[in-house]
Amino acid sequence: GIQVEQSPPDLILQEGANSTLRCNFSDSVNNLQWFHQNPWGQLINLFYIPSGTKQNGRLSATTVATERYSLLYISSSQTTDSGVYFCAGGGSQGNLIFGKGTKLSVKP
Amino acid sequence: DVKVTQSSRYLVKRTGEKVFLECVQDMDHENMFWYRQDPGLGLRLIYFSYDVKMKEKGDIPEGYSVSREKKERFSLILESASTNQTSMYLCASSLEGIGGYNSPLHFGNGTRLTVT
């Protein structure tokens, strides 16, 4: 099955800093999504992005499908951005394989 | 907004008990999923369903079964709970994928199950 690798596993930022999270896939996927899990455990869908670039406020994501990776950019980070960021990929059936996540801590 | 509701936030059961975890979504989604999340192992897919009375095994179905009698409800059943099934269980739903398009996955708040 598909392997999903995320880097870095942990990231500590000062408030206001920018960061880039990376997700690599072992095989082609046509269903790629990014999620944020807040400190209370709630998983929120950030992006559905099988290819191209999308932006939502201070967050943006780029997927280069031909090279099997995706990047999540966080600009001007805030303490509320803390939590774990997951990428997940899969085929057309909708079932996703998740990476192990990047744990982000934003310090005031 | 999509709402996926899991019936219990915390649950404590004894070894050998039959356990039912319930999940309801209010957006008429065709697809529903059960994941478990464990430290160091991430999220792993247990079962999923594309339609009423349909079910497919995920990566770790052993020890679990599911039921989908109505479109909005997807139940996870632990036939005989064991301590290694202590975990966070997450239900999710999405619209049907058509023509290669998939829709965003939406999660419930999770049920933290402890089996003693």
Tokens 């957006």 locate to: B27
Question: Prior bond to A8 cis, omega within 30?
Answer: yes
Nearest chain A alpha carbon to B92:
A43
Q: State residue A29's pLDDT score.
A: 85
**Buried residues in A30-46 as b, exposed as e (16+ CB within 10 A):** ebbbbbbbeeebebebb
Mean model confidence pLDDT for chain B:
92
Distance CA A1, CA B1 (A): 32
Q: What is the pLDDT of residues A52-73, one digit of tens each?
A: 999 999 999 999 999 999 999 9
Q: For residue A27, which of A83, A87, A102, A91 has the smallest C-alpha distance?
A: A91
Q: Using an 8 Å Cβ cutoff, are B30 and B95 in contact?
A: yes
Select the residue of B42, B97, B103 nearest A101 (Cβ to Cβ): B42
How are beta strands B111-115 and B10-13 bridged, if at all? parallel
- Interval B80-107 mean pLDDT: 87
The DSSP-derived string for B91-111 is EEEEPPPBTTB----EE---E
Nearest CA-CA distance, residue A25 and chain B, Å: 16
Q: State residue B102's pLDDT score.
A: 72
Select the residue of A31, A50, A95 nearest B45 (Cβ to Cβ): A95
E runs forming strands in chain A: 4-7, 10-14, 19-25, 31-37, 43-48, 52-56, 59-64, 69-74, 83-90, 96-98, 102-107
Distance CA A79, CA A64 (A): 29
Q: What is the pLDDT of residues A63-107, one digit of tens each?
A: 999 999 999 999 999 999 999 999 999 866 667 899 999 999 999
Query: Residue B101: is its pLDDT beyond 70?
Result: no
Tokens 């089996």 locate to: B115
Nearest CA-CA distance, residue B17 and chain A, Å: 26
Domains, chain A, in order of start with CATH, read 4-107 (2.60.40.10)
Distance CA B66, CA B23 (A): 11
Select the residue of B90, B104, B110 nearest A45 (Cβ to Cβ): B104
Domains, chain B, in order of start with CATH, read 4-115 (2.60.40.10)
